[in-house]
Chain A
């Protein structure tokens, strides 16, 4: 079945205007504009509220923005919601950053084009206010003088950008509405103000926090009604009676939610959009979503069907509308992030399937509708995550394959057998762990719980660079960029090399931890999130901001290039110490000369003689395991500002490509500027040549519970997802589950198609591919990413 004409049109419209997607080497979408309304209001309110409690200042600023921002609606859309004044614009968040943005104007044409002259003048004025209080920049006042922190001073670290994500309690908001939450806050205020057993300063802070929450929730309740007014205005322009009827329905919905409880599927879905847009695009630029879409919405659908107030067709159209709406998100990203997200989309992941608190499968009709819609409408967002467990029905597997077979590279399949124990391992109860959802591309979180996943604003642990440093006493291309370890002449054994490598990892992690924690502390102190706090469990009771505590520690270090490093260690071990074909000096020279000229020979030796990760060969696979076990053990010793250990994040997105572009050659035969492998544990591109099951076996050796390994991408030819192979592929997936992999993503297109798409992009506009955890349109991807996808091993099976 095809999507409805309305949604097809809207999809194409939002595709054309879709924000922040990368083309070529750009980090912002051509045609994308900056809307100054948000920063104008925030600057004004922050000035007016100098000296007040920080959460109140933020709440007042954001409330005024919700009350005054220009709203718009697209013709014929069934769901409303926006976060800037027009379709092509995004807001900027000057309380978070200003320096890189100010530097881009005048230097980088793409950025300059986002504002006209008047706009540039205005934002320059705004910058003046934020120079001293924007949190990116403040780290300069606190970073230890002996820590190299600027981008480029260390191959691993650099103070840049923050990823954070958190999934609100959508079920609660739908059940009680903002007004229900406000009533709860009022009650708590009344309790706290009268409870003299609470220390007075603490009591004052709690009250201010609660009042900030109330201001935010009230503004959110009014926001829906503003859309109702907007739609009333729309009605005057419309003559078509069918559309007028639709508008009446939409007005009814917006007058109801998010203020009041949702009574049906339509209201529940609109409520979700409002909350999601605020949390992800208005409050802060937060990626992720993390709703358990089928679990949250099915009760409404079931009720509507029972009452005869909805048809399956209309429910499906509403789901399509959500998918289209998810495409609208976007951010301005720093120039340093060229390619890094592969586009500024919001990683709006919808989680489907899985179990309830008792361990029973929750698959329902919405699950199937959502998968059908995904395969049919082929939007670039949302990403779909399907949870797989022992009781996953065969029918759901089949629906997954059908979806993958459309070429949309969705969904990713996550293993409950790993994710539930992993969350329990860091302290979740079994019921909570069973309730997990996937946020961002692959991060398990628990919806509604006070968990804020954070990663990335301090760079990443680039393991192959740690090895390069270890091989040359801490030097990279002759420059001291790591901690001093023994010079090459003193490295006499694999043990010596391993020890030096570990020291470089320790040092990189120390720097990363210092910078990350500094970033966390600044966020906690200066960027409270009163609305989100009110819709996460425990904050109203505690009278505190969600940043003041954590239910579970989800602070992460991004780790890249484990398998490049494993391949490199295998190469050193075999060529230098076992076969003695080359000396360490020769090897280092070959790397420093990018394997060119006389060193081509070394490259060929690595290519032809050394086993590579992903082929079920212990010689190299054990290096991968040892590396990740070591990194995990060291991360356990890195403690975040809440006193919890750091975790390992495999949410690399297209980071390995970006990092690869900046990094010199490595000991695995990777030449300079080539990407590192994607995900945490995918084999290096083109090196897994023993078929998909061998790759699965290799990956399974690096136990995700002990190491934090995550993502494996596998590319299959479409034929494997034909109905006649469903049973087979179900067995394949069940084995992946039994072997304890974290999750698997399938890319199901032919190499010929991709090559052709590269040549004739105009013919393949809706061709979607997956890069490490999220999907984008192939033609919009950077050439290097396109090449990477094409290189990814074609696993052909017939003889």
Chain B
């Protein structure tokens, strides 16, 4: 609801409390660290990976999403939209143009069918911890816990560090899913109550890194080296055809993993579960669309290559 999102954002900002912008508390997460976990997804990311499966995480504040399947073409939203961000296609279904949206959120309340909803809401540390503690009995029985992911949690360092601190006090296993792209002081501070870091490495060549993702990789690699031996690390490499599907580089990353004493290295082949989100967010998904899928043979090749690494290198799941 518009009022909640906007009002809450304003009130909490003014309150002086530590707050963060979260777009999902996902309980029963099983691929973001050990056991059953709740993953808190926070907004804002300094990288712009074209294959991002959480494109709603990139923009650091709240925004809207318009789902065509739910739209019945009543036009109520068009009447309140002052910027022309919303329109109908030839089938009278909603189309959002993010570039024109001014985040007034009036369309959320106007929509009769929940086709337009808000993404992201400001929460206090207490609210977040309350939500994250709900599945404590499940964490206890599965050796699971909480993972903070994004977006890039390091973009909201005070909030994330405080949440981790509170969880630690309550005996919850904590994991940080990060690109590692932040100042060392920030990384150091945020990870002091973290049991496990899921550290993404996307490419070893800084130029290529910058060309595709918008930032260089030196900071990322430096931070990783500094973390070595301090905290348990799992490296995670999203494998993307035409970008980093290079066995030689992959082997180097595995070697890097050994150097920084990573416990595991995961290669995660590209998936498209998030591709449909682009249009509902009003984003241009053409860069994603241009990325081809892996062939079965390629996937087999990768699996074969890492067979001998047994538990250290894992292909396909994290």
Contacts and interface: CB of A to CB of B under 8 A. Distances in A.
> Which secondary structure dominates where chain B touches chain A?
loop
Interface stretch (A308-316, A691-699, A753-761, A772-780): A691-699
Interface in B1-47: 24, 26-31, 35-36, 39, 41
Given A608-B114, A724-B317, A728-B35, A739 B137 contact: yes
Contacts of A119: none
Interface size class of B (residues with CB under 8 A): 20 to 34
Interface stretch (A234-242, A388-396, A412-420, A791-799): A791-799
Contacts of A727: 142
Interface stretch (A270-278, A544-552, A730-738): A730-738
Given A798-B273, A799-B24, A799-B54, A731 B36 contact: yes
A731 B141 contact: yes
A361 interface: no
B274 interface: yes
A55 to B, nearest CB: 52
A799 B41 contact: yes
Given A697-B134, A728-B36, A604 B30 contact: no
B28 A607 contact: no
B143 A690 contact: no
B278 to A, nearest CB: 15
Interface in B241-281: 273-274
Contacts of A783: none
A187 to B, nearest CB: 53
A707 to B, nearest CB: 20
A692 B141 CA distance: 15
Contacts of A798: 31, 273
Interface string B127-153: 000000011011011111000010000
Nearest to A600: B112
Interface in A716-735: 720, 724-725, 727-728, 730-732, 734-735
A601 interface: yes
A693 B135 contact: yes
A738 B141 contact: yes
A505 B76 CA distance: 42
A601 B141 CA distance: 44
A283 interface: no
Q: Name, among A691, A739, A799, the residue most crowded by chain B CB atoms within 10 Å (CB to CB).
A: A799
B267 to A, nearest CB: 16
B53 interface: yes
A128 B143 CA distance: 69
Nearest to B274: A799
A616 interface: yes
A720 B53 CA distance: 21
A694 B26 CA distance: 10
B268 to A, nearest CB: 11
Contacts of B59: none
A691 B27 contact: yes
Interface residues of A, number: 27
Nearest to A609: B1
B112 A604 contact: yes
A738 B24 CA distance: 27
Nearest to A795: B28
Contacts of A720: 30
Contacts of A693: 27-28, 36, 134-135, 138
A602 to B, nearest CB: 12
Interface string A151-186: 000000000000000000000000000000000000
B30 A728 contact: yes
A692 B135 CA distance: 11
Nearest to B1: A609
Contact of A694 (B27, B273, B317): B27
B138 A732 contact: yes
- Interface centre among B28, B39, B144, B149, by most A CB within 10 Å? B28
A607 B114 contact: yes
Contacts of B317: 724
Given A608-B114, A697-B134, A799-B41, A691 B26 contact: yes
A250 B238 CA distance: 62
A727 to B, nearest CB: 7
B41 to A, nearest CB: 7
A799 B26 contact: yes
Contacts of B29: 797, 799
Contacts of B137: 735, 738-739
A511 to B, nearest CB: 41
Nearest to B144: A731
Interface string B142-175: 1110000100000000000000000000000000
Nearest to A608: B114
B141 A734 contact: yes
A604 B142 contact: no
A171 B142 CA distance: 38
Nearest to B137: A735
A608 B114 CA distance: 7
Contacts of B149: 799
B283 interface: no
A731 B114 CA distance: 35
Nearest to B39: A799
A797 B138 contact: no
A790 to B, nearest CB: 16
Nearest to A724: B317
Contact of A690 (B27, B31, B39, B140): B27
Given A604-B113, A799-B39, A735 B141 contact: yes
Contacts of A608: 114
A591 to B, nearest CB: 19
A724 B318 CA distance: 11
A601 B113 CA distance: 10
A730 B140 CA distance: 12
Contacts of A725: 30
Contacts of B54: 799
A691 B28 CA distance: 7
Contacts of B144: 728, 731
Contacts of B135: 693, 697
A153 B317 CA distance: 59
Contact of A731 (B24, B53, B134, B143): B143
A755 to B, nearest CB: 15
A796 to B, nearest CB: 9
Given A692-B28, A693-B135, A798-B31, A732 B141 contact: yes
A797 B27 CA distance: 8
Interface string B276-318: 0000000000000000000000000000000000000000010
B134 A799 contact: no
A732 B142 CA distance: 7
A522 B144 CA distance: 56
Contacts of A690: 27
Interface string A663-694: 00000000000000000000000000011111
A795 B29 CA distance: 11
Contacts of A795: 28
A798 B28 CA distance: 9
Given A601-B112, A604-B112, A693-B36, A731 B27 contact: no
Contacts of A692: 27-28
Interface in A52-80: none
A700 to B, nearest CB: 9
Given A693-B134, A799-B54, 18 more contacts: A601-B112, A694-B134, A724-B317, A725-B30, A727-B142, A728-B30, A728-B142, A730-B141, A731-B36, A735-B138, A738-B137, A738-B141, A739-B137, A797-B29, A797-B31, A798-B31, A799-B39, A799-B149
16 contacts: A601-B112, A608-B114, A694-B27, A697-B134, A720-B30, A724-B317, A725-B30, A728-B35, A731-B36, A732-B142, A735-B140, A797-B30, A798-B273, A799-B41, A799-B53, A799-B273
Rank and list the top 6 A-B pairs by shortest CB-CB distance, nearest first: A731-B142, A731-B141, A691-B27, A734-B141, A691-B28, A735-B141
Interface of A: 601, 604, 607-608, 616, 690-694, 697, 720, 724-725, 727-728, 730-732, 734-735, 738-739, 795, 797-799
